[in-house]
Amino acid sequence: MANVLCVLYDDPVGGYPTSYARGEVPKIERYYDGQTTPTPERIDFTPGELLGSVSGELGLRRFLEERGHRLIVTSDKDGPESVFERELPEAEIVISQPFWPAYLTAERIAEAPRLKLAVTAGIGSDHVDLQAAIERGITVAEVTYSNSISVSEHVVMMILSLVRNYIPSYQWVVDGGWNIADCVSRAYDLEGMQVGTVAAGRIGSAVLRRLKPFEVGLHYTDRHRLPELEQDLNVTYHPDVESLVRVCDVVTINAPLHPETEHLFDDELIGKMKRGAYLVNTARGKICDRDAVARALESGQLAGYAGDVWFPQPAPKDHPWRAMPHHGMTPHTSGTTLSAQARYAAGVREILECWFDERPIRDEYLIVDGGKLAGAGAHSYSPGNATSGSDEAARFTAG
């Protein structure tokens, strides 16, 4: 019997849904590059259900209990008295999400002698100390591509919300006003602007494809040059981030978090951006220096900042991004739409089926395997630790 410890976000304030706005979600069998969507032997949920919260359990309970395993599902993940901390020493498998991450620091990995597999329900495994996982021989896997398009759609929404000054304009309506001058005094057309992505992997390239019809100039920088992308979309390549940000009116960050990208957007780099540029970050909060972003919005160096990623997560109640001017922040929701949940829940099931049946996990799902970076991890990550400082998340519930 395996102890499977699963950390998910809380149910809705009003209780777990008994009905949904739509009766179904579109069924997708392949992604843009031809990769198939998850292919478990079966699923025990209806696509479109709220699977990512505690009561949803990723649709895993029946599957695991039929095989004789024990499933523990909790949202209580921070602090020494948390359910996660108490159950971790006996866990063989830990499942977590980027949206409500159970930070598997080196210290926590040391407390979990039975831990063999860490699964991310979604994409982005930086809440795991990858170096510690490598040294312990722990397999790390995520459901690659499961919510990439979900995030790219969110990026386009946030770019338009900032440039068109949507959120303050909506607030005038809610407050009973009709203040057109106030609404448009910070509103512009996206048409004709220069828009660049930091990294053009699955999410970054999907953002570029979706922005092409807006008749903007497109730019990218990436570890790997992509001639086909440049030709198909007429995108300009930049050899480094600095050259990209100097010419762009809008910059979107779509890179994984690892030691080389941590605090990449600091005072110095933001200072090289066009004055009045917009910055959108749906990648990882720690890629941006928290206080540098707030300062840039106060000074006007940035006209707006939006995103749904913070560090730590959940963000403490006094996190400056909650109160800084001209922001469009949301909780980490871009990759956990009901549509995406159907895919990443199925992907977790597929990974667990392979694990228990001693079959190879899909290469594109692997981050760490056999004591080294593997699969998608070898392409996207660097060995190291991005979890430092995650204990600050405990202040969210304590504050």
Residues designated catalytic: 147, 284, 313, 332
**Dist. CA 38–CA 49, nearest whole Å:** 17
**Dist. CA 65–CA 274, nearest whole Å:** 56
User: Contacts from 182-191 at CB under 8 Å and sequence distance 24+?
Assistant: 186/303, 186/326, 187/163, 188/163, 188/164, 189/163, 190/159, 190/160, 190/163, 190/164, 190/214, 190/216, 190/250, 191/215, 191/216
Q: Is 7 helix (H, G, I), strand (E, B) or coil?
A: strand
**Dist. CA 319–CA 316, nearest whole Å:** 5
CB of 344 closer than 8 Å to CB of 122: yes
**Dist. CA 194–CA 215, nearest whole Å:** 10
CB of 70 closer than 8 Å to CB of 1: yes
**Dist. CA 120–CA 128, nearest whole Å:** 9
- Compute the radius of gyration of the chain from its Cα atoms: 21
- The stretches of 47-88 forming alpha helices (DSSP H) are 61-66, 83-87
Contacts of 81 (CB under 8 A, 6+ apart): none
One-letter amino acid for residue 17 of the chain: P
Strand pairing of 235-237 and 93-96?
A: unpaired
Supply 266's token pair. 């600091």
- The stretches of the chain forming alpha helices (DSSP H) are 61-66, 83-87, 106-110, 130-136, 148-163, 166-174, 180-184, 202-211, 227-233, 241-247, 267-271, 290-299, 338-356, 375-380, 394-398
CA-nearest of 357, 342, 128, 166 to 256 is 128
